[in-house]
Every structure is written in C-alpha cells, then in structure tokens.
Chains A and B, each alone.
Chain A
C-alpha cells in the first residue's frame, strides 16, 4: 500500500541532544513537508521541499534542519538550538506543481525532551 511512514511513533531525548525524525513515502511525490503541532496552535510549517536536493524554510525553521537526498525520504533533525522541542511532528507529501492536489500525512512522531 502506498503511504507515508514516520518513525518512531514516540521518541524521548535528553535536553541538549540532537534527534532525527524519519519520514519515508512511496507515493512517488516530489513535494514533502514537515509540520509541528502544539496544543491549540494548529500546524506550523517547519520546512518543505519541492524536489530532491532543494528545500525552503517554513515559518518556524529555527533550530531545525532537513535534507532531501532521495525522493522518498525527508528526515528532520531537531537540534539543541530548538528552545522548546517537545511537540507532535507531522510529515506530509504531495504532487509537485499541481496546486489542486492535496497533501497526504503520516501518523506523526511525538517527541518528548526531558
């Protein structure tokens, strides 16, 4: 079945450590996205990528980094510079260049930093 896989579902890290969240898709989509969800704040765009080896900052990119070396994969690193990293992180993908197509979402990773 085609879809987006985020792993792990729950992740715990100590403060000051970098952590990488995985996102893989087999939908053959060019565009991929990372969002952060906090209670009462909806989804905020961290980074998005329209094609391999290219990505753009979203509204809250500070303290995060991404890479897009393969079409299928768009990992997100939460660095120690992120002041409040505990949140629910959602990855999505969509067809590129067709504004009328929806984004498909993974099941999310809940990161807790202690």
Chain B
C-alpha cells in the first residue's frame, strides 16, 4: 500500500540553525511528493513539490529532492526563522488522485 513516514518531533531549534525533517515513502507506481505547512488553527498550505525522480522543489528557502533510490523527500532549510514555527507534513499523491500524508512534524524556532 501507500504510506508516508516522517520524523515526528517536536523539533526545537534556535534562530538561524539548519533544519532537516526526514520523510520516506512507500508507494506503488511513481507518486508526486509534497511538503505542506500548517499554522495553528488553519488548513494546510503547499510549501513545495517534486513530481519525478531527482526533481528538487524549493520555496521560501526550503528545499527537498525526490530520491527514488532511497524513497525519500527530506525537507531542509539553511537558516530557520521564528516565523517558520509550524507543523510540516510530507505527502504523496498517486496517479489515481489519492493523497496520503505523514504524521506531521512540529517545529518551534526560538529567538
């Protein structure tokens, strides 16, 4: 079946620290991969995506590379800010439109 696993945290970092949130997936076929961000009390917003192997998605200083050989899509940012504090979800979408999410990783950035 299809599933997404990610480090659950919570993760606490100081401002300007390097961020990595690991994500691995299991899927039949060739899914597209996404990172979403959720701020308190709100719905999810797309952060970045990659649709095929070796694609790199990037947005707002965040990056993730679609690694088919390791079935991974790790999220990275070189220097986090307080405003990056949120919950981050890794997700995949299958060719038949099913969208599966990981458990989410809560990030707190302290000044």
A residues engaging B (CB < 8 A)?
A: 4, 31, 33, 35, 40-45, 48, 50, 56, 58, 90, 92, 94, 96-97, 99-108
B94–A99 contact, CB under 8 A?
A: yes
Interface residues on chain B, size class: 20 to 34
B32–A100 contact, CB under 8 A?
A: yes
A107 to B34, CA, bound (A): 19
Q: Please indicate the chain B residues that have their CB under 8 angstroms from the CB of A43 in the complex.
A: 44, 89, 101, 104
B93–A103 contact, CB under 8 A?
A: yes
Contact check: which of A40, A45, A92, A100 meets B8 at CB < 8 Å? A40
Given contacts A42-B89, A43-B44, 13 further A-B pairs with CB under 8 A are A31-B97, A33-B99, A35-B101, A40-B8, A42-B101, A45-B99, A45-B101, A48-B97, A97-B97, A101-B32, A105-B36, A105-B44, A105-B45
B44–A42 contact, CB under 8 A?
A: no
A105 to B38, CA, bound (A): 10
A90–B44 contact, CB under 8 A?
A: yes
Contact check: which of B89, B97, B100 meets A96 at CB < 8 Å? B97
B103–A41 contact, CB under 8 A?
A: yes
Query: What number of A-B contacts does a CB cutoff of 8 Å give?
Result: 71
A102 to B102, CA, bound (A): 15
Q: Please indicate the chain A residues that have their CB under 8 angstroms from the CB of B44 in the complex.
A: 43, 90, 92, 103, 105
B residues engaging A (CB < 8 A)?
A: 8, 30-32, 34, 36, 41-46, 49, 51, 89, 91, 93-104
A102 to B90, CA, bound (A): 12
Contact check: which of B30, B31, B42, B95 meets A107 at CB < 8 Å? B42
A94 to B91, CA, bound (A): 14
CB closest chain-B residue, reference A6:
B43
B103–A40 contact, CB under 8 A?
A: yes
> Whole-angstrom distance from the CB of A10 to the nearest CB of chain B?
10
Q: Please indicate the chain B residues that have their CB under 8 angstroms from the CB of A107 in the complex.
A: 42-43
